[in-house]
Structure 1
Amino acid sequence: MGVKILADSASDLPLEFFEQNDVTLFPLKVHIDGKEYEDLRTIQPQEVYDKIRSGNLPKTSQASPAGFKEAFTEMAVNKEQGIYIAFSSQLSGTYQTAVMISEQVKEEYPDFDLSIIDTKCASLGCGLVVMEAVKAAQAGKSKEEIVNDAVFMAQHMEHLFSVDDLDHLAKGGRVSRASAFLGGLLNIKPLLNVEDGKLVPLEKIRGRKKLLRRIIELVHERGTSLDSQMVAISHADDETTALEMKELIAKEFGTPEIFISPIGAAIGSHTGPGTISIFFLNELP
């Protein structure tokens, strides 16, 4: 029996990926107008962006403990080995809840064999780790090999992203209000990255063209062997910029595979529309 891969919706992979590769999905929750939705399953990103543009800011919560309990118990009963590749513990309580539920299941089923990886990654930064783990599992690699590869990849994952309005992140507690100050004025585009699982503002750049040029410069500085790895781009209702970024990356680095996917409803609730993100490795195995 192969190794089962599990992931949450904050990996921002399409629903089809989970279905086609038999990856267990744990949706984060999105709350709008007093109703609770499951990211990727019962709400789409566009609905979130439309609400934000109309001044109605959604809230989010972690994946369901009951969902973890059901999936983990089923694995334990079936004696399946599994690896859950989780969204950063610094941005959600989902990882901690999964660990707690896993320990509960292990009390009842001592042979339960699940590894839970805190990637300290977000969006397709986490998604790239999931994709690679799925490939490794399908190739018949051992659980230990897949875990080691996933941990290495997560530790060397770079995140560069820009939001139209830092205020969304500040209101959700993802960056400080001081960092958000003046972000939306004078066509200033804030550029951020992820350090130890947390969102950290890097610099503020005036104008979209300068922003894209600066992102390319930073990919040069931080990336390695861009012509030998998959790069991912996620966007919040801005496919035009995502495609432009894809063209720039392909031309500049000769990157053979560039994966584009929309930012999901959960993460999009905090970043707001207009966000553009790029993910790549700063070291290869």
Structure 2
Amino acid sequence: MVGKVRIVTDSTADIPAEIRERLGISMVPLKVIFGEETYLDAVTIDNERFYEKLAQSTVLPTTSQPSPLEFSEVYERLLAEDADSPIISIHLSAALSGTYQSAVIAHSMLEAESDITIIDSQSASYGFGMRVVKAAEMAQAGETKERIIEEIKQLQRDTQLYFLVDSLEYLQKGGRIGKASALIGSILNIKPILSLDQDGIVHAVDKVRGSKKAMTRIVELLGQTFGNEPVSVTMAWTQRNATAEELSELIKSRFNVQAMDWTTVGTVIGTHTGPGTSAVFMHRL
């Protein structure tokens, strides 16, 4: 008899620890490297400590994907607990990281045949974290693997996300934009509105001058997708900031918001976007 579906993800889903624990989500951490110091994201360094170090560091930290061995250890543990129960493993966009590929290799390394479905979310942060949470909730309710996969694919189609960075410095340091573009953007107070395309690649949807215009533009873009439909919203920030709070108020005043939650953009995504980043994840109900 097939048992309850088990859910695996990686730390870039930015799911709060208490939710992971309550729903039984297994998490494989990425690594954040400050010089000679290596930390396991959401395990040996938390968001608060990370952003303090990021603000103080003169060198941009780097990030590293989990190895196939780290994934295979998680899969083997779950299979040892119940070899007949399926596993769904949902991960950061393959266009942004080799994390998904490590999971695929880990699956191929397992000796016995195993029911493991590995999914490229084509998203980042809580853009796919919300899908992981939904999958885990359905698994706890006893839903089948097929039904869970169908539901999270629908949730992917029904979700839109936008990131707003406070500074172009970290995008420039990470090679996402050129030094000249970052300098001109800073002088002119240009705010790129970032999202992920259908292939999971980061791109600038628009560029406007100033945070207030950027927030107004995000609301306009969301309005084109959702209109007055009932929606659920998750707001995210690297650190508490007025921009995210003001954006949340604009969204509540404009949309038919049935639920609004908050989470923190984790260390790996924060390495590339910097402190002061705000994000909105909206999906139709």
> TM-score, with normalisation over the residues of structure 2?
0.90
Aligned to 1:100: 105
Q: 1:2 to 1:175 in 2, by over 3 A?
A: farther
User: RMSD of the TM alignment (CA)?
Assistant: 2.0
2:61 maps to 1:58: yes
Letter in 2 for 1:99: V
Q: Counterparts of 2:49 and 2:186 in 1: how far apart (Å)?
A: 23
Three-state SS of the structure 2 residue aligned to 1:255 is strand
Aligned to 2:251: 249
Question: In the alignment, is the contact (CA less than 8 A) between 2:60 and 2:173 conserved in 1?
Answer: no
1:162 alignment partner, one of 156, 161, 164? 164
The within-5 A match list for 1:1-285 is 1-54=3-56, 55-77=58-80, 78-79=82-83, 80-105=85-110, 108-110=111-113, 112-174=114-176, 180=182, 182-195=184-197, 196-223=199-226, 226-227=229-230, 229-281=231-283
Residue 150 of structure 1 deviates from its aligned partner by 1.3
Q: Any unmatched runs of 5+ in structure 1? A: none
Three-state SS of the structure 1 residue aligned to 2:208 is strand
Q: Counterparts of 1:165 and 1:67 in 2: how far apart (Å)?
A: 34
Q: 1:37 to 1:95 in 2, by over 3 A?
A: same
Question: In the alignment, is the contact (CA less than 8 A) between 2:227 and 2:255 conserved in 1?
Answer: no
Residue 199 of structure 1 deviates from its aligned partner by 0.5
Deviations 1:52-100 (A, max 9, x none): 3232311100124332111111223321311111110011100001001
Question: In the alignment, is the contact (CA less than 8 A) between 1:75 and 1:81 conserved in 2?
Answer: no
Question: In the alignment, is the contact (CA less than 8 A) between 2:87 and 2:116 conserved in 1?
Answer: yes
Q: Counterparts of 1:115 and 1:235 in 2: how far apart (Å)?
A: 31
Q: Counterparts of 1:41 and 1:10 in 2: how far apart (Å)?
A: 12
Question: In the alignment, is the contact (CA less than 8 A) between 1:175 and 1:199 conserved in 2?
Answer: no
Question: In the alignment, is the contact (CA less than 8 A) between 2:8 and 2:90 conserved in 1?
Answer: yes
Q: Counterparts of 1:152 and 1:177 in 2: how far apart (Å)?
A: 39
Three-state SS of the structure 2 residue aligned to 1:43 is coil
Q: Any unmatched runs of 5+ in structure 2? A: none
Deviations 1:123-142 (A, max 9, x none): 11011111211222122211
Q: Counterparts of 2:181 and 2:90 in 1: how far apart (Å)?
A: 30
Question: In the alignment, is the contact (CA less than 8 A) between 1:91 and 1:174 conserved in 2?
Answer: no
Q: Counterparts of 2:205 and 2:167 in 1: how far apart (Å)?
A: 15
Name whichever of 149-158 and 206-215 sits farther off.
149-158
Q: 1:71 to 1:26 in 2, by over 3 A?
A: same
Residue 219 of structure 1 deviates from its aligned partner by 0.8
Letter in 2 for 1:153: L
Residue 261 of structure 1 deviates from its aligned partner by 0.6
Q: Counterparts of 2:92 and 2:265 in 1: how far apart (Å)?
A: 14
Name whichever of 121-130 and 172-181 sits farther off.
172-181
Residue 213 of structure 1 deviates from its aligned partner by 1.1
Residue 3 of structure 1 deviates from its aligned partner by 0.7
Three-state SS of the structure 2 residue aligned to 1:49 is helix
Question: In the alignment, is the contact (CA less than 8 A) between 1:119 and 1:155 conserved in 2?
Answer: no
Deviations 1:166-205 (A, max 9, x none): 3422432445667646232222211111112011012221
Percent identical among aligned pairs is: 38
Residue 226 of structure 1 deviates from its aligned partner by 4.3
> TM-score, with normalisation over the residues of structure 1?
0.90
Q: Counterparts of 2:26 and 2:94 in 1: how far apart (Å)?
A: 19
Q: Counterparts of 1:152 and 1:214 in 2: how far apart (Å)?
A: 26
Q: 1:104 to 1:177 in 2, by over 3 A?
A: farther
Deviations 1:25-46 (A, max 9, x none): 1111000131110111111223
Name whichever of 237-246 and 202-211 sits farther off.
237-246
